[in-house]
Amino acid sequence: MQNFDYMTPTRLIFGKDAIKKLPEVMANFGKKVLLTYGGGSIKKIGLYDKVKELLSDKEIIELPGIQPNPKYDPSVLDGVRLCKEHDIDVILAVGGGSVLDCSKAIAAGAEYDGDPWDLISYKVKAQAALPIVDILTLAATGSEYDCGGVISRTETNDKIGYMDEHLYPAVSLLDPTYTFTVSKKQTAAGCADAMNHIMEQYFCEDTTLLNDGFCEAGLKSLMVNARKCLDDPEDYTARAEMMFACTLGCNGIYALGNSPSGWPCHGIEHALSAYYDITHGEGLAIITPRWMKHILSEKTVDRFVKYGVNVFGIDSSLDRFEIAEKAIQATYDFFGSIGIPMHLKDVGIDESRIGEMAHHIAVNEGLENAYAPLTESDIADILTASL
Amino acid sequence: MQNFDYMTPTRLIFGKDAIKKLPEVMANFGKKVLLTYGGGSIKKIGLYDKVKELLSDKEIIELPGIQPNPKYDPSVLDGVRLCKEHDIDVILAVGGGSVLDCSKAIAAGAEYDGDPWDLISYKVKAQAALPIVDILTLAATGSEYDCGGVISRTETNDKIGYMDEHLYPAVSLLDPTYTFTVSKKQTAAGCADAMNHIMEQYFCEDTTLLNDGFCEAGLKSLMVNARKCLDDPEDYTARAEMMFACTLGCNGIYALGNSPSGWPCHGIEHALSAYYDITHGEGLAIITPRWMKHILSEKTVDRFVKYGVNVFGIDSSLDRFEIAEKAIQATYDFFGSIGIPMHLKDVGIDESRIGEMAHHIAVNEGLENAYAPLTESDIADILTASL
């Protein structure tokens, strides 16, 4: 078991009608609020009007239009400019992980005098950030309970995971009913995203019985509940459990004390999203089983055996490699069964830029230090196998 | 899944040599430290000297001699008096759950003008508390990661669980090597305490797949690792995993969103410890299987089936009640196998005060609202079956 230093100061207000606590929560901050959101789904479900009604005593400046794979330019830059112009006290992010990730970069940039990219690229360490409150509308990224975000810079094909301890949301309001209208595509992608967050922590050198049990419980819970959400989008219990299993995804609690894995599937997928702007969870679902197959070896096989037996109930008396192969196939089959397109070509990616992407990943993601080290050639092989 | 409102602001610094961060941690507080500890085991293992050496720039006032089942008089009262006399800035608790629980009551009392019992008995709500830092030397209670403590008042046979959101430790330093010298008796009692914390959250009306998996992982991890710790007290990995599984015990994370259970075994055991000052974990281990047997019914049997199959690997094809009976027997057998005396008479308790204790529990613990409601007569039956 590895040493760790852990604290999550975020308050989670979870459940139906959590929004009733919004006025009480926002009373802890100043009068000027930057309200950030995405493409307008929060207007369709009435959440936008509800927020405005509950915060009628506040001065609200809006930053709408934050896209999936949120962009440095214009969203982060616009947000930082608005915060500075209006002397904003607190950011209220209403939406999914992209809105929240973008809001985190804005929160840090607003308290920094230079170019916000200095912070995101780790050239300069943030000294402060505006407080963030969020109202979550998508179960997926876990950004509501971690201190990180992923920001894309289109002109350089960069998609950078940016973490700083100032960026934990102060409060996350998690009402599962706001996810009732999430499409089948996004429900499935959210499930795959959260499952991969857990796998990135599970597949490592040094784990514990406790952490393995936590991760296996998370994976099984996500698979069962995602299916229920797809069958009946208004199944409150399934939406609730899926939301919470996702919330813990990147917070560390699934695997405190595990050795680092290098998060290889995320490293690879970030390039896919940066080059082709695909849905993150779909990219992960496509990459994951090919990555598994590529790294299966005498060194890793026992992890796959544990995964196969405990998560998929594969017969433990079979040959180790047979169990592992079955587990990888079961992973592939599950993602396919919830409607995820399982080939890169299905999401508009062909072989033309694989070499370029593999090089970009090898240079930027440090995967030579991953649980199963990956060279540029390994990465290209995984991408090719994913076509 | 139930609504919840959750935040744990405690920083966990976990692992070998965690104490190296003590000076950095303590630098965030003032100069005047109340150092609280127990019977002197921290001197035997060199921890007392180490703390004094690392904090040579601080002014340290000491409160030694805090007992198991920590006493309101003299420990809490003495601590509060010392804090006020010396204008203490921060409490450094070095020891196990009793030292920490006592320190929490002191921390609240130090910031209150009246009788500290007003706070502990919930007559008055604490408005503030001194910050607490702890160095843990016993894996058991989880007090290092929650906002509660249990305080005993000898003259009235009261043992009260006192919780307040001001009482989360600011920082908990968790070095498993400090538990190498914990006796077999206390290692086993700590395991039983932590297992019961999980069971008190697991046996309830409304749970989730995720929470059940977390709880089952916690129980299995504790059983496996406690045995290893008993076999080899210096098995770092086993001590580490056991310590962390205990740390999460009362923090809520095992079962956020589960319906409340009423913590019946704790309700009953608190009277045993208050009347007879026995070791809390041993009392819990004795009560738990008898409580299980008493509440087994058509309403509860399915929880016992899940528990039996998933925690003890009992054959799921057997009759439901047969599985439940086997699960209860396995619980009893496990506690016995780690050396816990499994009858009240083994810890010096006879039938003479059962009626009096059952009445005290029925009046004070609210167990008529527990998962399986308990009347005074039910409680007396459970105590009698435990003789």
Question: Does this chain's domain A11-178 share its CATH topology with A183-385?
Answer: no
Contact A241 B1 (CB under 8 A): yes
Predicted pLDDT of residue A157: 86
Please indicate if any CB of chain B lies within 8 Å of the CB of A216: yes
Sites in chain A below the pLDDT cut of 50: none
Domain extents for chain B? Answer: 11-179, 184-385
Please indicate if any CB of chain B lies within 8 Å of the CB of A240: yes
Region of B313 (left: φ > 0; alpha: ψ -120 to 50; beta: rest) is: left
Please indicate if any CB of chain B lies within 8 Å of the CB of A257: yes
The token pair at B294 is 């008493």
Cα distance between residue B204 and residue B258, in whole Å: 7
Cα distance between residue B253 and residue A12, in whole Å: 12
pTM exceeds 0.90, yes or no:
yes
Cα distance between residue B113 and residue B97, in whole Å: 26
Measure CB to CB from residue A210 to each of B7, B13, B245 and give the nearest one: B245
Minimal CA–CA distance to A12: which of A195, A135, A107, A147? Answer: A135
Written out in words, the top-level CATH class of the domain with range B184-385 is: mainly alpha
Sites in chain B below the pLDDT cut of 70: none
The CATH number of domain A11-178 is 3.40.50.1970: yes
Cα distance between residue B386 and residue B344, in whole Å: 6
Please indicate if any CB of chain A lies within 8 Å of the CB of B241: yes
Sort out which chain B residues have CB atoms less than 8 A from A7's CB and list them.
Answer: 9-12
Pick the CATH number of B11-179 from 3.40.50.280, 3.40.50.2020, 3.40.50.1970, 3.40.50.300: 3.40.50.1970
Minimal CA–CA distance to A341: which of A296, A248, A278, A292? Answer: A278
Is the Cα torsion angle B308, B310, B311, B314 positive or negative in sign? positive
Predicted pLDDT of residue A91: 98
The chain-wide mean pLDDT, for chain A, equals 97
Contact A244 B224 (CB under 8 A): no
Cα distance between residue A206 and residue A178, in whole Å: 38
Predicted pLDDT of residue A286: 98
- The CATH superfamily holding the domain A183-385 is Dehydroquinate synthase-like - alpha domain (1.20.1090.10)
Predicted pLDDT of residue A154: 86
Please indicate if any CB of chain B lies within 8 Å of the CB of A177: no
Q: List, in sequence order, every beta strand (DSSP E) within chain A.
A: 4-14, 32-36, 59-63, 90-95, 132-136, 148-153, 158-163, 171-174
Q: CB of A387 within 8 A of CB of A352?
A: no
Predicted pLDDT of residue A347: 97
Angle, in degrees to the nearest 10, between helices B209-231 and B184-202: 170
